[in-house]
């Protein structure tokens, strides 16, 4: 990549970064990729060819990390690949271009909609002041407006969304988007919906801890095991009383797996068994049927044995009769 020469010697030169980088991109960059990006900005002032192997040695990072970092920076529009290398994107021009849309006239419907959105404006300003110290990046405003329209969240839910991510030190666009998608898939629209969702999550977390303890999984559950439990509780509608019955069935198994437990619970769900009493009645009936089938099998086997024994005696008698006749 061709870089522009800086006339100042390195001792007196400076490397500037636009504020838009800190408000829009910093929180989304993993540490190693940030390290790469900062060094690229520094190098962009000097007319030298940049080689990936040299960057790997200079930054003390594996070559794979360098390659992954370049890919990440490119995907997030921080750099652009050209035939001769890469260029550092102008973040200010880029942000302005993304935000600017010609609006020479405003329809009556648009005016009415803007008037109705005063509460949204207040919510956005609250988010700006509370979670961005009053310096929220311009593109966040656009994203929040999109999320309002896409998920139909009310103002309290939108504020709660940013509060949730902020308390988890994950106030970056990708994480906020993922949480918003999760809430939307659980039909969260209003504050009451969110309150009910939190209650379900609290019960779900309690169940996960209880199940992990009963199965001796002291290192915690895997993501897939947690997904099984979420399916039993949220989709099948089973509580711990029902799940407890399935867990007890693992005592007869040498190495019980979640696949086995899931097959048992799914079978109950497919049979429309909803309560512990229904499941226990079904289990007792199944045991009775199996016992009767075993007894029948034993009886049939015994009958067949007696019949074979009788047939053998007849055969032996017939042979003796023939021998005597010949004599």
pLDDT tens figures, 25-84: 777 788 899 998 888 888 887 766 778 888 888 889 999 999 999 898 888 888 888 777
User: Is 310 a residue whose pLDDT tops 60?
Assistant: no
User: Is 105 a residue whose pLDDT tops 50?
Assistant: no
**What per-residue confidence (pLDDT) applies to 108?**
43
**What per-residue confidence (pLDDT) applies to 111?**
41
User: Is 106 a residue whose pLDDT tops 50?
Assistant: no
Supply the pTM of this predicted model.
0.53
Confidence of residue 153 (pLDDT cuts 50, 70, 90): very high
Report the C-alpha gap between 286 and 157 in whole angstroms.
49
Q: Are 18 and 91 in contact (CB under 8 A)?
A: yes
Report the C-alpha gap between 274 and 238 in whole angstroms.
7
Report the C-alpha gap between 128 and 244 in whole angstroms.
47
- For residue 27, what is the DSSP state? G
**What per-residue confidence (pLDDT) applies to 12?**
64
Report the C-alpha gap between 207 and 240 in whole angstroms.
7
Mean pLDDT along residues 302-314: 59
192: Cα separation from own chain's centroid? 24
**What per-residue confidence (pLDDT) applies to 174?**
87
Report the C-alpha gap between 58 and 16 in whole angstroms.
21
Q: Is 47 helix (H, G, I), strand (E, B) or coil?
A: coil
Confidence of residue 100 (pLDDT cuts 50, 70, 90): low
Q: pLDDT tens-digit profile of 232-289?
A: 998 899 999 999 999 988 877 777 789 999 999 999 999 999 999 999 999 888 888 8
Q: How far apart are the first and last CA of the chain?
A: 115
Q: Are 123 and 158 in contact (CB under 8 A)?
A: yes
Cβ partners under 8 Å of residue 244, min gap 6: 214
Confidence of residue 104 (pLDDT cuts 50, 70, 90): very low
**What per-residue confidence (pLDDT) applies to 241?**
93
Please name every residue paired with 82 in a beta bridge, in sequence order, or none if there are none.
85
**What per-residue confidence (pLDDT) applies to 78?**
85
Whole-angstrom CA distances from 222 to 212, 218, 229 are 10, 11, 11
Average pLDDT, the chain: 81
């Amino acid at each position: 990549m061709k870089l522009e020469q800086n006339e100042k010697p390195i001792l007196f030169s400076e490397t500037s970064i636009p504020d838009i980088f800190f408000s829009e991109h910093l929180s989304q960059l993993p540490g190693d990729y940030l390290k790469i990006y900062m060094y690229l900005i520094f190098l962009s002032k000097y007319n030298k060819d940049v080689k990936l192997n040299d960057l790997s040695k200079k930054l003390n990072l594996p070559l794979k990390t360098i390659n992954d970092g370049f890919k990440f920076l490119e995907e997030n529009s921080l750099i652009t690949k050209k035939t001769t290398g890469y260029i550092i994107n102008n973040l200010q021009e880029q942000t302005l271009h993304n935000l600017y849309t010609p609006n020479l006239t405003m329809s009556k419907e648009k005016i009415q909609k803007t008037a109705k959105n005063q509460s949204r404006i207040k919510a956005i300003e609250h988010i700006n002041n509370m979670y961005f110290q009053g310096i929220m990046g311009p593109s966040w405003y656009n994203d929040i407006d999109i999320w309002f329209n896409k998920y139909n969240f009310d103002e309290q839910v939108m504020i709660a969304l940013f509060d949730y991510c902020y308390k988890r030190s994950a106030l970056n666009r990708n994480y906020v988007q993922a949480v918003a998608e999760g809430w939307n898939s659980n039909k969260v629209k209003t504050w009451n919906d969110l309150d009910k969702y939190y209650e379900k999550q609290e019960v779900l977390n309690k169940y996960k801890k209880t199940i992990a303890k009963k199965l001796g999984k002291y290192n915690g559950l895997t993501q897939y095991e947690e997904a099984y439990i979420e399916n039993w509780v949220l989709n099948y509608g089973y509580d711990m009383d029902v799940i407890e019955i399935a867990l007890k069935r693992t005592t007869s198994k040498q190495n019980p797996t979640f696949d086995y437990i899931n097959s048992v619970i799914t079978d109950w769900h497919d049979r429309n068994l909803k309560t512990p009493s229904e499941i226990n009645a079904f289990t007792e009936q199944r045991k009775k049927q199996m016992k009767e089938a075993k007894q029948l099998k034993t009886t049939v086997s015994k009958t067949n044995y007696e019949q074979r024994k009788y047939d053998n005696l007849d055969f032996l008698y017939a042979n003796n009769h023939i021998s005597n006749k010949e004599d």
